[in-house]
Structure 1
Amino acid sequence: MRIKAAILAAGKGSRLCPLTPFLPKEMLPIGGFPAIHHVVKEVVAVGINELMVILSEGKESVRDYFTKSLLVKGNTAHGLSRERDELLSSVKVRFAYQKKLLGTADAIYTARDFAGSDPLLVLYPDDLLSWKVEGQSVKTLAALCSLACAEGVSSLMLREVPHEDASNYGIVDLMSKKTNGFPYVRNIVEKPIEYKKKHAYAMLGRMILCTKLLDLIPVLPLNDHDGIIPALNQEAKAERLIGAVYNGPHYDIGSHEGYLHAVRSFE
């Protein structure tokens, strides 16, 4: 068994208006490269060599970045082109289109046939983490990928947020029971109005979904508001879902403030 990856890049980036009607948020520059370039580097650092990027109509520039020459007469993109080509030598990138923007669950299920019998690492490009091999995010994802292959457990990367911000996120309640050092998930609540538990762990844009969970998507009453959470909670009840708390660098580049923070940090 191996792991495949999918980047969910179909969203319109409404939080980044007025930038995104002209340039997809995944193509906004950070550290000399489009934002999505850094997410693909993370995929490669984890050791995955098959990737699907889920797009929507109007985001062809994302596909073009990975499929067309960056060298145009008179430009100075030689370094960018060389690094892009080197990255693509380590991973096969495919593309699929979400025909209607019906939410996260539908976007993930677009990659169901691509996943086949393998677990699927799902990455949200709004969340930019470190792609360095020695970094916490890569080490954690590699460990979770191994568990998905060995034990068939799906997993979520989490980060602790202030209680007053809990209503902005899907909040995960963890058990004391663990497997290989990672706690099982008890349940997930989408944007709770009031959260009184000791720790508020928010879902981060990285999850590894095994085939049992992927196959729940078309049979559960999923909607745009709840996204993939009903399917995740079903697996949590069966003790087939674990969480990993991430404490490293994180940039929410789907907001103006988060994008500017990332730009400054990657200078």
Structure 2
Amino acid sequence: MKVRKAVIPAAGLGTRMLPITKSMPKEMLPIVDRPAIHYVVEEAIKAGIEDILIITGKGKRAIEDYFDRSFELEYYLRERGKFEELKQVEEIGEMVDIYYVRQKKPLGLGDAILHAEKHVNGEPFAVLLGDDIIISKKPAIKQLMEVAERKNTSVIGVEKVPWELVSRYGIINGQKIDEQLYTITDMVEKPSPDEAPSNMAIIGRYVLIPEIFDFLKETPPGKGGEIQLTDALRAMLNEYEMLAKVISGRRYDIGTRIGFIKANIELSLLRDDLREGVILFIKNILQEVQDE
């Protein structure tokens, strides 16, 4: 089992980040000086993914433009001797083979994944959600790919969340293999704390076998009239083994305001050209706020 392809669903309306997402795709929200989806694509590339399918929707043309070549801009930068900026722009256009399919109706994550069936063409594939920026030494999706390729099965990324937050996530129940790996026995979408089988939450990274498409086709609409990926995965548990891997790293849900702010701060601190100035600003502003 070799994972070569990745799917990035990017068709959602981004309602959690309104009003800015009224005119800008949530995947293009700036994290320092790059859009959020840049980091997700970069993670896939570092994990060894060879081609990427992005599922887009109405109003998402900016994503395609970002990863495309911009000959006018490149000419402008070259003529003015801005070679460092030119290098950055050229690298974006040559990052990896990227393809696009449009989800014409917002029918949920499961429906978006179903649009990838022809592109996947019977191979196992990775799924990376653009809402989650994960900072880790080893790319988060690579952590799952290594388990999937070793165990020859689907692997879902999870992390422990506070019990009061379980209603925001799909939650798994499972048998522990070791501290980082579980055999999934059940999963439920957004349970209340008293109904949740655990506080192990499904986060935006998956490696799936192509049989998932058969189950997605049979999955009826769930909450909000959407086809839920979690419902299809739960049905697949009856026939196929599925593992959950605790991802090592720090995850930021940039679909929330606080997650977006935190991601900007940490990724600024990881930049040699920004770290000193950001630290100084944080120290100064904290002192000013405390003095008020």
The TM tier, using the shorter chain, reads 0.7 to 0.9
Report the counterpart of residue 183 of structure 1 in structure 2.
Answer: 182
Cα deviation, residue 186, structure 1: 1.0
Report the counterpart of residue 158 of structure 1 in structure 2.
Answer: 158
Amino acid at match of 1:229: T
Contact 2:111–2:227, Cα closer than 8 Å, also in 1: no
Q: Provide the rounded CA distance (Å) in 2 between the counterparts of 1:79 and 1:118.
A: 39
Alignment map for 1:139-158 (pairs within 5 Å):
141-149=141-149, 151-158=151-158
Report the counterpart of residue 206 of structure 1 in structure 2.
Answer: 205
Q: Provide Cα deviations, 1:218-240, integer angstroms capped at 9, x if missing partner.
A: 12324345611122112323352
Contact 1:56–1:97, Cα closer than 8 Å, also in 2: yes
Q: Provide the rounded CA distance (Å) in 2 between the counterparts of 1:226 and 1:171.
A: 17
Report the counterpart of residue 236 of structure 1 in structure 2.
Answer: 237
| Correspondent of 1:86 among 67, 91, 94 | 91
Q: Provide the rounded CA distance (Å) in 2 between the counterparts of 1:209 and 1:149.
A: 11
Alignment map for 1:90-129 (pairs within 5 Å):
90-129=95-134
Report the counterpart of residue 284 of structure 2 in structure 1.
Answer: none
Secondary structure class of the residue paired with 2:237: helix
Matched, 1:218 2:217: yes
Matched, 1:26 2:24: no
Amino acid at match of 2:100: F
C-alpha spacing 1:205/1:78, structure 2 compared with 1 (3 Å): farther
Count residues in correspondence: 261
Cα deviation, residue 143, structure 1: 4.5
Secondary structure class of the residue paired with 2:112: helix
Q: Larger deviation: 26-35 or 102-111?
A: 26-35
Cα deviation, residue 147, structure 1: 4.2
C-alpha spacing 1:55/1:109, structure 2 compared with 1 (3 Å): same
Secondary structure class of the residue paired with 2:250: coil
* Percentage identity across paired residues of the two chains: 31
Q: Provide the rounded CA distance (Å) in 1 between the counterparts of 2:117 and 2:176.
A: 32
Q: Provide the rounded CA distance (Å) in 1 between the counterparts of 2:38 and 2:229.
A: 25
Q: Provide the rounded CA distance (Å) in 1 between the counterparts of 2:245 and 2:82.
A: 38
Contact 1:190–1:226, Cα closer than 8 Å, also in 2: no
Q: Name the structure where helix makes up a greater proportion of residues.
A: 2
C-alpha spacing 1:77/1:212, structure 2 compared with 1 (3 Å): farther
Unaligned stretches of 5+ residues in structure 2: 269-292
TM-score normalized by structure 2?
0.80
Contact 1:119–1:149, Cα closer than 8 Å, also in 2: no
Amino acid at match of 1:204: I
Q: Larger deviation: 231-240 or 253-262?
A: 231-240
Secondary structure class of the residue paired with 1:242: strand
Q: Provide the rounded CA distance (Å) in 2 between the counterparts of 1:125 and 1:247.
A: 18
Amino acid at match of 2:249: G
Cα deviation, residue 34, structure 1: 1.0
Cα deviation, residue 263, structure 1: 1.2
Amino acid at match of 1:10: A
TM-score normalized by structure 1?
0.87
Unaligned stretches of 5+ residues in structure 1: none
